[in-house]
């Protein structure tokens, strides 16, 4: 099911779109933890970066400079994720990225929560997001799922999540309201009915275990289910909580395969296979370049294939000014080759490889990619979670501010080059 790290990253982005309210403030430590993960994900494989580059990346991640220096970087240092080097006046000079492998980074969520002294209401909120994403529940069942942090904490947390639209309440039966994550369970009536019938049949725990098993193994053969009995599999399918597909052979034999809505989306309405959102960002950048740009990219797949194969691409002038969106994501880095030429260096190979697997179906992945001018002017990217939650118009930083960020990104630390 959803890890704490995925929940924190999505929750941080979701809450960043809201004006501060009492519910927003009550979840602020979780938002801060999400910001720590946001910066960590962007700095993966960056080796050594200048203070200016890290500040530019932080701004794009909606982290203020004061908060970066006083809270985010010290927390990352405490976790052993970065090593900050300052001059004699205490000014940040370079940041050495010591970000652990992805599986370790994700597992470190519990350590991060302990470091931040996250309170019982906030911990209950994480459990409630997970529980109401797994399946629709009656309010009583939802509170019970997080009651390990006290019933009062769970009740308060549920109210805060409703206020920021991460939980929806439906009162089909007055005395038994139902709650669920509207980003996963999109049919309100079906979700409410399923939750009530599951409670009536005392099946919530059995169905929850089944959904966890299917989420971990999408397409699992029905005969291989070990989490519950066949009758609860049939019940979950009948209520629309689980999807069953059947393969029939020429001799009449049949085999059922089980799927859940989590195959399509996670707690924040995004692809479960791309928790950071950076694969979507790179795919969107490539497709934009091949579809809408004045100088179109003939084959996005060929471009990414070359970038993955060689670790770098370009050696043209416009790379020096046109790629801040991918740089602030930490996906690539731009280095100067000569007076007027720059090259793009791939930092996060796993992101590019995942993006390439998606683009493979859209065209060839070998040969000439076409003009590199096509990615020009892609300046900003807003992740799905933030767009979904946005309630106010964001200020445009303007060309002057954008130029300042680009200059900071280009100020690469000595010894931080590709292959060093």
Helix or strand (DSSP H, E) at 178? strand 176-180
Q: Is the CATH number of domain 4-115 1.10.10? A: yes
DSSP 397-411: -HHHHHHHHHHHHH-
Q: What is the pLDDT of residue 321?
A: 54
Of 381, 388, 390, give the one whose Cα is nearest residue 19: 390
| pLDDT > 90: percent of the chain | 32
pLDDT in tens, 313-322: 766 555 555 5
Kindly tell me if the per-residue pLDDT of 294 is higher than 80: no
- Indicate the domain borders of the chain: 4-115, 120-263, 278-382
Predicted confidence (pLDDT) at residue 138 exceeds the cutoff of 70: yes
pLDDT, tens digit, 9 for 90 and up, residues 175-213: 889 999 888 887 788 888 888 888 877 888 888 899 888
Bridge partners, residue 332, by sequence: 346
Residue 155: predicted pLDDT: 96
User: CA 335 to CA 19: how far, in whole Å?
Assistant: 38
The pTM of the full predicted model, rounded to 2 decimals, is 0.69
Radius of gyration of the chain (CA): 23
Q: Are strands 137-138 and 176-180 parallel, antiparallel or unpaired?
A: antiparallel
Question: What pLDDT, in 10s, does the model give residues 49-87?
Answer: 999 999 989 988 889 999 999 999 999 999 999 999 999
Which pLDDT belongs to residue 190? 81
Confidence of residue 270 (pLDDT cuts 50, 70, 90): low
């Amino acid at each position: 099911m959803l890890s704490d790290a995925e929940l924190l990253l999505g929750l941080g982005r979701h809450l960043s779109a809201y004006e501060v309210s009492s519910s927003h403030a009550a979840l602020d430590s979780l938002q801060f933890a999400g910001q720590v993960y946001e910066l960590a994900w962007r700095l993966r494989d960056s080796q050594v970066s200048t203070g200016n580059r890290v500040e530019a990346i932080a701004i794009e991640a909606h982290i203020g400079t004061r908060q970066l220096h006083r809270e985010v970087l010290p927390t990352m240092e405490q976790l052993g994720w970065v090593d900050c080097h300052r001059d004699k006046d205490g000014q940040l000079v370079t940041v050495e990225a010591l970000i652990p492998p992805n599986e370790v980074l994700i597992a470190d969520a519990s350590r991060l929560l302990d470091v931040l002294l996250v309170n019982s209401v906030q911990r209950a909120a994480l459990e409630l997001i997970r529980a109401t994403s797994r399946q629709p529940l009656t309010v009583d069942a939802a509170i019970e799922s997080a009651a390990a942090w006290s019933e009062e904490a769970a009740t308060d947390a549920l109210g805060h999540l409703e206020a920021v639209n991460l939980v929806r309440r439906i009162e089909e039966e007055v005395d038994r309201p139902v709650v669920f994550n509207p980003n996963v369970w999109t049919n309100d009536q079906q979700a409410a009915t399923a939750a009530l019938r599951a409670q009536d049949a005392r099946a919530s725990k059995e169905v929850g275990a089944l959904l966890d098993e299917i989420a971990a193994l999408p397409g699992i053969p029905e005969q291989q289910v070990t989490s519950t009995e066949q009758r609860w599999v049939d019940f979950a399918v009948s209520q629309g909580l689980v999807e069953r597909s059947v393969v029939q052979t020429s001799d009449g034999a049949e085999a059922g395969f089980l799927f859940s809505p989590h195959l399509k989306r996670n707690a924040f309405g995004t692809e479960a296979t791309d928790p950071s959102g950076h694969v979507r960002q790179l795919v969107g950048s490539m497709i934009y370049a091949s579809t809408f740009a004045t100088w179109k990219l003939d084959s996005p797949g060929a471009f990414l294939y070359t970038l993955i194969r060689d670790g770098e691409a370009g050696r043209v002038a416009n790379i020096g000014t046109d790629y801040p969106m991918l740089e602030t994501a930490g996906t690539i880095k731009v280095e100067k080759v000569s007076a007027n030429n720059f090259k793009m260096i791939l930092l996060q190979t796993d992101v590019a490889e995942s993006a390439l697997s998606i683009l493979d179906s859209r065209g060839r992945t070998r040969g000439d990619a076409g003009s590199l001018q096509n990615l020009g002017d892609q300046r900003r990217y807003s992740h799905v979670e933030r767009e979904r939650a946005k309630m106010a118009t964001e200020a445009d930083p303007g060309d002057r501010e954008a130029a300042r960020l680009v200059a900071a990104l280009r100020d690469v630390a000595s010894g931080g080059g590709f292959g060093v």
